[in-house]
Amino acid sequence: MARLFWGLIAAGVLTGCALSQPNFFWIFEAPFYGSEARLRTLYETHELPRAVIRAEFPQVPTLEAIEQTTPTTRGGQLLRDETIVDSTVEAALQTDGLPDAVEINRSFAPVERRWFAMYYANPPLTLVYETWLQAFDVSAIRYHSGKVFGMSAVPRSVYRLALGAGPMAPPWPVTIPPSAYAALGVPALGPPPPLQVDGQDWAQLAKSLAAEMREGRADYAIRVYKALSRLKLANPVAGLEWTAVLFDSSVVSGFGVPDGTLFISTSLVEKLNDEQLAAAMAHLMGHERYQHYPHNLKFGEQVRLAGPTRIFPEVVPKYPDVLTTPEYGFSRWEEVDANRIAVEYLARIDIPPDTLFDALHKLSLESREVSAGEWPSFDQIHHLPETAADLGRMLDAGILRSPDPIAQSSR
């Protein structure tokens, strides 16, 4: 009866104007998904690559057998649920076997589209299926998606994020062609940074923050200042004074102030080697080169002045806690901007972009538990592991590489 009920709704929507609604897929998938994690992804544009434990699935992956499985991993849950609602994925499992990892991407412009990717480690194989609204089978209450991309390779970002591979020697291999950018969620480069910046008005904030902090270990301070010296010498920016403050904290924390001051916790230094530390600092420099926080603050003020709104609070939270708020914190695209500058700055001191990915990925594995009164963590401010995943995907596509072709034009 449930399938009949949803089938009748599907028939009505498929013949009406509701086809354009962005919640179309959710309407029909929700009743058949047993995974709470999967339901959350229906509203997101990108689900990170997730590993699948093959042993949790039947050797003969029929629909009836998969419906009875109870995967313990998010990747397994995604695969089970996708098989239930998509007959093409079910058939692919019969032909190609169970994948080692899966991924979901969605796009809403100009129309809603959704892709499901399956990755096989041995031999390397990537298969991507796209679901169309018109491919919904009302009688069976299932989709019949179409295969839109396949290659005998697996992107390095998938090996690193989902398949447990450790750091690999550079250069990062380019495996994703432009025709697969949308299907595999490759972010696009935004505009270059502003030609002129002036962070002097923020110098007092940097001084007041430094006065609140406990001084860090001398040997860690030497590592920070050595990294900064290399970056600062190769990447001077008029209007910014690149300086660094090492502070003692059990939280893996790192953030900048728009005058060019970088704040690095002892715990962050402890987690990274020298080149990874320079890479993390270059990411912070990227945010200040773009002046992301002043831009977000100005936008928030304009919204509040336009009239009453619940989007932006009347009182701006204290810095740097404000960087963890959705209203004033960094967006996904601002993190892409910061990675863009970081890759450029690191290229000038002969550090490959692979090192930036290694640093962000390592920091994304740290605990997010932060006690009251502590400084916000690096992953809270910089949206890990999503920021690492976006960098990896752009490296997979060759959009960011060392030496970076935008290096001279962005100075």
pLDDT digits (tens, 9 = 90+) for 47-58: 799 999 999 999
User: Same domain for 36 and 80?
Assistant: yes
**Alpha helices (H) in 197-245, listed in sequence order:** 203-212, 218-234
Residues 140 and 74 in one domain: yes
**What angle in degrees, to the nearest 10, is found between the helix axes of 332-347 and 353-364?**
140
Domain membership flag for residue 348: yes
**Together in a domain, 159 and 248:** no
Q: Which tokens sit at 368?
A: 């997010």
pLDDT at site 305: 75
The total number of structural domains in the chain stands at 2
**Residue whose C-alpha is closest to residue 340's, from 268, 262, 405:** 405
Mark which of 180, 211, 232 sits at the end of a domain: 180
Comparing C-alpha atoms, which of 139, 145, 136, 132 is closest to residue 8? 139
- Return the higher-pLDDT residue of 181 and 22: 181
pLDDT band at 327 (very low <50, low <70, confident <90, very high): confident
Determine, yes or no, domain membership for 403. Answer: no
Residues 205, 173, single domain; the answer is: no
Last residue in a domain, options 151, 180, 209: 180
Mark whether 273 and 329 lie in a shared domain: yes
Structural domain includes residue 409 = no
In this prediction, residue 315 carries a pLDDT of 82
* Integer Cα distance of 51 and 32 in angstroms: 22
| Helical pair 386-396 and 332-347, crossing angle rounded to 10 deg | 60
| Confidence band of 254 (pLDDT split at 50, 70, 90) | very high
Say yes or no: 255 and 216 in one domain. yes
d(CA 402, CA 353): 6
Residue 28 confidence (pLDDT) above 70: no
Does residue 69 or residue 4 have the better pLDDT?
A: 69
H or E segment at 275? helix 274-290
Cβ-Cβ contacts under 8 Å for 135 (sequence gap 6 or more): 143, 144, 145, 146
Q: Are residues 226 and 176 in the same domain?
A: no
Burial class (CB in 10 A: 0-12, 13-18, 19+), 40: exposed
pTM value? 0.87
In a domain? residue 193: no
Q: Indicate whether 147 pLDDT > 80.
A: yes
Q: Would you say residue 359 lies in a domain?
A: yes
- Give a yes or no: residue 330 inside a domain: yes
Task: Quote the domain boundaries for residue 169.
Answer: 2-180
- Taking the mean position of all CA atoms in its chain, how far away is CA 339? 11
pLDDT of residue 2 exceeding 80: no
Q: Quick check: is 189 in a domain?
A: no
Q: How many CB atoms lie within 10 A of CB 39?
A: 14
Same domain? 209 vs 118: no
Specify whether 132 is located in the same domain as 171. yes
pLDDT band at 303 (very low <50, low <70, confident <90, very high): confident
Q: What angle do CA 35, 38, 40 make, to 5 degrees?
A: 115
Residue 76, class by beta-carbon neighbours within 10 Å (0-12 exposed, 13-18 middle, 19+ buried)? buried
- pLDDT bracket for residue 18 (50, 70, 90): very low
Pair (166, 204) in one structural domain: no
pLDDT band at residue 409 using 50, 70 and 90 as cut-offs: very low
* 46 DSSP β-pair partners: 105
Burial pattern 207-244, b for ≥16 Cβ within 10 A else e, equals eebeeeeeebeeebbebbeebbebbbeebebeebebbb
Same domain, 242 and 391: yes
Q: What is the Rg, in whole angstroms, of the alpha carbon atoms belonging to the chain?
A: 23
**Does 367 score more than 80 pLDDT?**
no
Q: Are residues 250 and 376 in the same domain?
A: yes
Asked if residue 265 is part of any domain, the answer here is yes
